[in-house]
Amino acid sequence: MNGFGRLGLFAMGIVTIMMFLPMALFPQKTERDNLLSGISSGKTRVLDLSYAINDKLVPWPGDERVFEAKINATVEKNGYFTRSFWMLEHYGTHLDAPVHFPPGKTTVDQIPAKQLFGPAVVLDVRAEGAKDADYRVPAARVEEWEKKHGKISEGSIVLLRTGWASRWPDAQKYRDQDAQGKMHFPGFSAEAAKLLISRKVSGIGCDTLSADYGASEDFAVHHLVLGAGLYQLENLADFREVPEAGAFLVVAPIKLEGGSGGAVRVFAIWQ
Ligand SMILES: [Zn+2]
């Protein structure tokens, strides 16, 4: 082959690399574009994982005053309608900001917006929870998920699906308190929490009253997770339709300055 031919081959090689370079650099672009543009066309599923707020939701035991709304203006009297409301920061579907438990520091308004978007990792423990209300998801259960779907990527949001959402809003069934007042519902184990923290996830969530299991007395998961700067989503509405892998979450908490947490809208999108 003469020098000219070699040059031609070299040029063709460069052109080929240039053609495929964008695909190599942005392999997810088309997929993500489809996911977002598919929302308006209906190709992408959108599920709201938040309960509507009223005064009849299941409060933490001992919380008596939970929510109040007052009408300030009516169309009849004022020509427009407004209300004012009061509520606990930890009531209904809500977010626990890191500052909620030591050694966490970040308040709800300070959580970086980037941390509020991420792939959903769903750990489905409905069968285990039905057998044992005190079930704590072991780290091995997280590893089992990874064997099926690959290593949990940084920035993921890990949701625990216990099936307890089906008991909402029946306080008795949802809290499942015994004669001593101790609650019984599944939760994350401290070991699973440690593994998820090491995977650098953005947050964890559950369809129960607490990320710790109901009978917990030391709130080990709260201390670990919030202490590591992650957030927790509690009392998520029924998300049985969300796939174990492949969905994307949008977490939109109230931007309450200095707040320990607050009401949150959580949306799952997937195709
Ligand atoms: Zn909370």
Between β-strands 157-161 and 117-124, what pairing exists: parallel, antiparallel or unpaired? Answer: parallel
Q: How confident is the model at residue 4 (pLDDT cuts 50, 70, 90)?
A: low
| Residue 209 to residue 68: CA distance in whole angstroms | 20
Write out pLDDT tens, residues 133-146: 999 999 999 999 99
For the chain, give the mean pLDDT: 93
Structure tokens at 150: 């690959």
Quick check: is 66 in a domain?
Answer: no
Domain assignment present for residue 5? The answer is no
How many angstroms separate the alpha carbon of residue 198 from the centre of ligand 1? 22
Give the chain's domain count: 1
**pLDDT given for residue 33 in this prediction:** 74
What pLDDT does 70 receive?
98
97 Cα: distance to centroid of ligand 1 (angstroms): 8
Question: Crossing angle of helices 190-198/220-227, nearest 10°?
Answer: 10
pLDDT score of 174 more than 80:
yes
pLDDT above 90 (res 57): yes
Q: What is the mean pLDDT of residues 180-194?
A: 97
The pLDDT value recorded for residue 91 is 97
Rounded to the nearest angstrom, the distance between the alpha carbon of 209 and the centre of ligand 1 is: 8
Spatial contact of 203 and 231, defined as CB atoms under 8 Å apart: yes
Query: Which pLDDT score is estimated for 16?
Result: 58
Residue 170 exposed, middle or buried by CB count within 10 Å (0-12, 13-18, 19+):
exposed
Q: What is the pLDDT of residues 12-45, one digit of tens each?
A: 666 555 555 555 555 556 666 789 999 999 999 9
Q: Looking at residue 138, which CATH number applies to its domain?
A: 3.50.30.50
**Cα 213 from Cα 244, distance rounded (Å):** 21
pLDDT at 1 over 60: no
Per-residue pLDDT at 84: 98
Residue 39 in any domain: the answer is no
User: Is the pLDDT confidence value at 245 over 60?
Assistant: yes
253 CA to centre of ligand 1 in angstroms: 12
**122 C-alpha vs ligand 1 centroid, how far in Å?**
20
Phi and psi angles of residue 163, each rounded to the nearest 5 degrees, phi first? 90, -5
User: Which amino acid is located at 259 in the chain?
Assistant: G
Average pLDDT over residues 55-66: 95
Residue 59 near residue 91 (C-beta atoms within 8 A): yes
Ligand 1 centroid, distance to 254 Cα (angstroms): 14
Could you give the percent of the chain with pLDDT greater than 70?
A: 88
Asked whether 103 and 227 are in contact (CB, 8 A), the reply is yes
Tally of CA atoms within 13 A in the half-sphere of 231 that contains its CB: 33
Q: What per-residue confidence (pLDDT) applies to 116? A: 98
In a domain, 27, yes or no: no
Stated as kind and residue range, the H or E segment containing 235 is none
Is 7 among the domain residues?
no
Looking at the domain assignment, is residue 139 inside a domain?
yes
Residue 175 lies in a domain: yes
* Domain ranges, residue 149: 47-59+88-270
Instruction: Look at residue 68 and tell me if it is in a domain.
Output: no
Cα 96 to averaged position of ligand 1 atoms, centre (Å): 5
